[in-house]
């Protein structure tokens, strides 16, 4: 698992988070589903959720692992208050095993223009 995956970005910007998932993470990566979420804190409701084909593209790697590309669109963060949020990614393996593969904090910075764009 990747801990302390802290990211700073301007609110309303677009960003792609590249997340390598190694075959040794303890989950069957064949047919795996990757989930990503942003919340105010670990125990609060999710504000943004992504999964395969819905903001996450998953690519097989030569070593048997995966590369998940998590796309944050303008609308995902433009209406969120500039502050620090909790974010994490979890893999549900083809065998049903669930493994958290990344967690940390996403800090949104205030913006002058990006938050005003529709």
Contact in structure between 21 and 91 (CB atoms under 8 Å): yes
Is 3 a residue whose pLDDT tops 90? no
**Domain interval for residue 77:** 7-109
State the Cα–Cα distance between residues 16 and 90, nearest whole angstrom. 17
In a domain, 14, yes or no: yes
For 41-81, write each residue's pLDDT tens digit. Answer: 998 999 999 999 999 999 999 988 999 999 999 999 999 99
The whole-number pLDDT of residue 20 equals 93
Q: Which residue, among 98, 89, 94, has the nearest Cα to 31 in the 3D structure?
A: 94
In a domain, 116, yes or no: no
Average pLDDT over the chain, rounded to an integer: 92
Contact in structure between 80 and 108 (CB atoms under 8 Å): yes
* Total domains present in the chain: 1
The whole-number pLDDT of residue 34 equals 97
In a domain, 117, yes or no: no
Contact in structure between 14 and 74 (CB atoms under 8 Å): yes
What CATH number is attached to the domain comprising 15?
2.60.40.10
Confidence of residue 25 (pLDDT cuts 50, 70, 90): low
């Amino acid at each position: 698992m990747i801990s302390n995956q802290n990211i700073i970005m301007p609110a309303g910007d677009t960003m792609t988070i590249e997340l390598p998932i190694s075959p040794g993470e303890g989950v069957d990566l064949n047919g795996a589903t990757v989930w990503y979420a942003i919340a105010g804190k670990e125990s609060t409701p999710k504000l943004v959720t992504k999964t395969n084909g819905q903001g996450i593209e998953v690519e097989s790697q030569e070593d048997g692992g995966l590369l998940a590309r998590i796309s944050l669109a303008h609308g995902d963060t433009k209406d969120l208050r500039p502050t620090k949020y909790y974010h994490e990614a979890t893999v549900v393996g083809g065998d049903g095993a669930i493994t958290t593969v990344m967690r940390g904090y996403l800090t949104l910075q205030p913006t002058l223009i990006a938050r005003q764009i529709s």
